[in-house]
Amino acid sequence: MNQRMVVHFQDGQILKGNSHDFFPNKDLFHLILLDQPPSEKPMEISVSQLKAIFFVKDFWGQKDRQKRKGFASGEKSLYGKKVVVQFKDKEHLYGFTQGYSANRPGFFLFPTEQQDNNEKIFVVRSFVTKIEFID
């Protein structure tokens, strides 16, 4: 399955492309960079070097749209528990998760807003400083 993704590295580098072999339990996957010539081999990406992988609807996003910080009053989701994730670079993400486990290298976070350009985000635990579940 072709997955559009924006890959954020721990060092701040960001790459955009497609992957056919990302699985949350694998250490490596391959990224075909946006505008990459077909003759070039896909880039091998090590999950341990990443902050997060943003699975996107499109690569251009909605730069002028203000993202909501936090949750709406009484907000519930089919995507699980409310969670706030703080990364080592001080960025915070708000969303919902179903499959969080402290024993896994990462987990999926679903955006708080339907109109968000992110379909889901794979958060890499090694770059997280705090995970707060909200009742």
Higher pLDDT, 67 or 21: 21
Nearest C-alpha neighbor of 48 from the set 127, 129, 119? 127
pLDDT digits (tens, 9 = 90+) for 9-44: 999 999 999 999 999 999 999 999 998 998 999 999
Whether pTM exceeds 0.85 = yes
CB 61 within 8 A of CB 111: no
Which CATH number do you get for residue 18? 2.30.30
* Contact residues for 124 (Cβ-Cβ < 8 A; gap 6+): 47, 48, 50, 51, 52, 53, 105, 106
Q: Structural domain of residue 31, as residue ranges?
A: 3-51
CB 2 within 8 A of CB 20: yes
Same domain (yes/no): 45, 85: no
Encoding tokens for residue 10? Answer: 């721990």
Encoding tokens for residue 31? Answer: 């990224």
pLDDT digits (tens, 9 = 90+) for 78-92: 678 899 999 999 999
pLDDT of residue 134: 87
74: in domain: no
